[in-house]
Structure 1
Amino acid sequence: MRRPLHHPRRTTTALAAAVVSAVVLTTVPASAATGGPGVGDPYFPDDGNPGYDVTHYDVRIGYDPARTDRLDGDTTVTARALTSLDRFSLDLKGFTVSSVAVNGTSAKTFSRAGAHKLVVTPARPVAKGTTFTVRVKYAGKPDAEGWHTLKSGGAYVTGEPHSATSWYPANDHPSDKATFALTATVPDGWKAIGNGLPGPETVENGRRTFRWSEDSPMATYASTVAIDRFTVHRGKTAAGTPVITAYSPDAKIDPAAEAQQTEILDFLTTKFGPYPFSSAGAIVVGATKEPTGGPLALETQSRPTYGSTLFDASVVHENTHQWFGDSVSFEDWRDGCVAECFAQYAGQLWEEHKGSDLDTDFYRSEVEDYRNDPSFWSVKLYDPGPGRELDSALYFKGSLMLHALRRTVGDEAFFTTLRTWTHDHAYGNASFRQFEALAAKVSGKDLKGFFAAWVDGTVIPPEKYLYPGSLAGSAADAGAAGGATGRAR
């Protein structure tokens, strides 16, 4: 099976841990005073806590690449109580927690539960509607689900659905987005790169402290830190957005690919609307110590992370996520199409920009390639099922669905829908069901049958939805279209 350019990090161990965690936490009764053991995501019910809404993370870490078994953390979470809380939980994997304070006062108790819960009982209950802070000090070896070490000696964070809890305590679910500040102290000679814009650097006793700030709400899995002896290049988009690109010592620096990164960002704004964040760029890491080579590219907010080098297809995909997935995030893990369907189709838009005929080079040839392959059509694009939340169907079947939608409603309605979507839901969460409603509203068309066939169907769509508008034609005509010169794998 062809693999997506953007490869989520998932392991059977992680899935097993999630199941064990859910079982263990049934011993901690949910109530209005605890916020419950998880937000109730259909695929990851143990993730997060529904009793509060995080508004800001202030993450402070110290890390010495000579000691990969230890990270020192001091994180303050600012949140608003959605119910009265005499106890609540944060998500954190591993580490030894030395202290927890709520609103500046030591917690009455704190303990660990399940695979990744830090359960906190404050000295005084937190009243509904109030803003409160939780400061957690911790140390130990970061969890390998999100924290990856490099052969160069450095480390970086990526992972989806989970990575944040490998290095700081969080309300770890995409529905609870928050602004983010990072302070990372490393030995002098090393650099720490994060999300957003850089702040002042300071040096003391042979250690250098880096500061980064992301002022737009961010899903926890999109947060990152990368530590290495980076070479850092700076530029700007046509609109003046700072572009900061960092390369590990063994990563390839390709000036042409770096220039194309800015070209791609400028192109995407013509399709999706203004770039949503205060900075852009890339973190290009080198070889990892992991036998599998570590995760491939991921859409870490404002500054996607890539392995070894930049190339156009991956840069298009991950930067499209800045609009679809990062700025407009999904409500729960049933809704990966909100991110992946659009990011994959953007690769085709880039090919079209470079002269490809998508009807011929992409759509018809792909449909005919898979017409007689039931497995290709068998996965639903919404709610594909636990363990399939980032299935390759969201990439390949999903991108075909969007092109068929474009030909159904026409270019003007299609691109108006995309720009309206990114504007109306900017920095928030939305479901693909809402996108379906918006597409129908903008186009003035009844699209129920189309989306039922493409999004909820598990067989190849009927011909009227498979070949709508200018795509209409016989299977024989489509087969005669030839090879797929515009594909990017």
Structure 2
Amino acid sequence: MAISSKARPYLLILAVVLVVVGVVVARLPGQTDGSAVATSTSPTPTTPPGIGGDGAGDPYYATDGNTGYDVDRYDVAISYDPATKKLDGKATITAKATEDLTRFNLDLHKLTVSEVRVGDQSAKFSQEGEHELVITPAATLAANQPFTVVVAYAGEPQAFDDKALGTSGWQISASGGAFAAGEPHSATAWFPANDTPKDKAKFTLAARVPNGWSVISNGREGASASADGWTTFNWTEDTPLATYLATVAIDKWQFERSELPGGTKIVNAYAPGAEGKKAQQNKLPEILAFLSEKFGPYPFDEAGGIYLSDNIGFSLETQTRPIYAQWADLETVVHENAHQWFGDSVSVSTWADICLNECFASYSQWLWAEAKEGANLDDRYRAEIEKRKDNDGYWGNKLYDMGRGNEFRGVYDKGILALHALRRQIGDPAFDQVLKGWTSQHKDGNATWPEFEQHVEKIAGQDLKGFFAAWFRGDQRPSDEYLLPGTLRR
């Protein structure tokens, strides 16, 4: 995810002010008050045997996701009328029980369920709390048993309004259409899911909209079909994705389709008023070729971009096809496509690991400037260090295990400096090996920040505990030993 450059100074000023009064809180555009955000971790829910847990154990979002099963695929079918803002949906979820289950949960946000079937039998269900869909199948699901869940639901999808992270999920576009994007929450605003990045799954969408509207989503474009004044658009992503990386965008799109030399298909979509972004998006083949040199082969079969005419506060790396706010520039395109490796192909295990996504996508902007614009990154680094030398608020942003609500406070700026310092600490050959080895070893999976530290130490042949403690785990300006390694020390 990239945050609007206009929002970043706002966040920094707010943080400094609140530190003065003894409260630390991060806010993004869309937040309506300044309530404090707790930074302590949440306890992991415990459940009796045979009952799937109503939380996947994330330290910051204890009730996100569920346990007791592993999802293989989401097949989602929706009908949406922009005139009424009403959605009707049916989701077929293919999964496997990881323990004997007499009951399990899905996550669904403010939509009303009318029917649930497990296999070929009706199942009892209830909707509890803000997002728990509690399902009791007619018979116990045995451990390792594959099963399907079919959920019928309807309503007017609602956005998530988080006091720390702003507005995300389902939003109405300037044209009257709609789109779904956000982090860490988005998917469950429009379909039921196991809403944790740890349970990645394949995804298929059939979206039916009135004629005149069109739909873009993740992955491979299928044939569309029209009947009775409505058109159904079909999209399939067969590489497992984390749920927050699924998107649907409904508008009067102008599509452009092309293909890379290796066969990767590109689909770009421009909302009315966003056509001026075409020249920028035409750089995508060059961007993907550059990033492939740095990170290894592009990890998906599809690529492209979704350009809104809406000035939301973020752009997002929705898998294979990032979604861009009106303000998005070429650096943003580099950033979001770097996420296809760091964040999408290799996903976090918990939200405490978010630097694995954002620090690397942000540093890719510097790599691009170095290669394409001749930027001297050591000079740029020193200038940033000098500018920030007395800024305690800046250095106080931890990059690992930063606390709930603080996930996006340091990763876009301090994270860049930290990775450049790491590059100079271990040298370019080792740094290149670190990047390509990481994306290869964890392709299509999940990983943690401590695993990354071990990965770097093994390749570099160095004890880097002090370095990582100073830059990523610490909340103070690093000592000169770690601040100015290698060629950074003049």
Does the TM-score normalized on the shorter chain lie above 0.5?
A: yes
> Alpha-carbon deviations, 1:62-108, whole Å to 9, x = none?
0111111x10000011111111110111000112211000012100x
Per the alignment, residue 119 of structure 1 pairs with: 134
Q: Quote how far apart the aligned CAs of 1:362 are.
A: 1.9
Which secondary structure does the structure 2 equivalent of 1:394 belong to?
coil
Q: Quote how far apart the aligned CAs of 1:279 are.
A: 0.5
- Report whether the alignment pairs 1:154 with 2:173: no
CA distance in 2, matches of 1:4, 1:342: 18
Contact 2:78 2:206 in 1 (8 A): yes
Matches within 5 A, 1:366-405: 366-391=384-409, 393-405=410-422
Corresponding pairs, count: 460
Letter in 2 for 1:122: P
Per the alignment, residue 312 of structure 2 pairs with: 294
Which secondary structure does the structure 2 equivalent of 1:134 belong to?
strand
Q: 1:12 to 1:421 in 2, by over 3 A?
A: farther
Q: 1:173 to 1:11 in 2, by over 3 A?
A: farther
Q: Which one of 78, 88, 92 corresponds to residue 94 of structure 2?
A: 78
CA distance in 1, matches of 2:58, 2:278: 43
Q: Quote how far apart the aligned CAs of 1:16 are.
A: 10
CA distance in 2, matches of 1:327, 1:207: 34
Q: Quote how far apart the aligned CAs of 1:18 are.
A: 12
Per the alignment, residue 438 of structure 1 pairs with: 455
Letter in 1 for 2:222: G
Q: 1:14 to 1:165 in 2, by over 3 A?
A: farther
Unaligned stretches of 5+ in structure 2?
A: 10-26, 161-168
- Report whether the alignment pairs 1:50 with 2:73: no
Contact 2:55 2:66 in 1 (8 A): yes
Q: 1:8 to 1:268 in 2, by over 3 A?
A: farther
CA distance in 2, matches of 1:84, 1:410: 50
Q: Quote how far apart the aligned CAs of 1:14 are.
A: 13
CA distance in 1, matches of 2:33, 2:300: 34
Per the alignment, residue 38 of structure 1 pairs with: 55
CA distance in 1, matches of 2:6, 2:250: 32
Contact 2:52 2:66 in 1 (8 A): yes
Per the alignment, residue 297 of structure 2 pairs with: 274
Matches within 5 A, 1:429-468: 429-468=446-485
Per the alignment, residue 347 of structure 1 pairs with: 365
- Report whether the alignment pairs 1:215 with 2:238: yes
Matches within 5 A, 1:154-173: 154-173=177-196
Q: 1:10 to 1:133 in 2, by over 3 A?
A: farther
Per the alignment, residue 195 of structure 1 pairs with: 218
Letter in 2 for 1:324: F
Contact 1:8 1:390 in 2 (8 A): no
Using structure 2 for the length normalisation, give the TM-score.
0.89
- Report whether the alignment pairs 1:231 with 2:254: yes
Q: Percent identity?
A: 48
Q: Quote how far apart the aligned CAs of 1:154 are.
A: 0.9
Q: 1:241 to 1:11 in 2, by over 3 A?
A: same
Residues 10-19 or 58-67, more deviating: 10-19
> Alpha-carbon deviations, 1:350-370, whole Å to 9, x = none?
100123334344211111111
Letter in 2 for 1:244: V
Q: 1:171 to 1:157 in 2, by over 3 A?
A: same
Per the alignment, residue 174 of structure 1 pairs with: 197
> Alpha-carbon deviations, 1:188-232, whole Å to 9, x = none?
221110100111111111111111000101000000000111000
Per the alignment, residue 65 of structure 1 pairs with: 82
CA distance in 2, matches of 1:34, 1:14: 38
Q: Quote how far apart the aligned CAs of 1:275 are.
A: 0.6
Per the alignment, residue 105 of structure 1 pairs with: 121
CA distance in 1, matches of 2:84, 2:487: 60
- Report whether the alignment pairs 1:143 with 2:166: no
Which secondary structure does the structure 2 equivalent of 1:455 belong to?
helix
- Report whether the alignment pairs 1:425 with 2:448: no
Per the alignment, residue 229 of structure 2 pairs with: 206
Unaligned stretches of 5+ in structure 1?
A: 288-292, 474-489
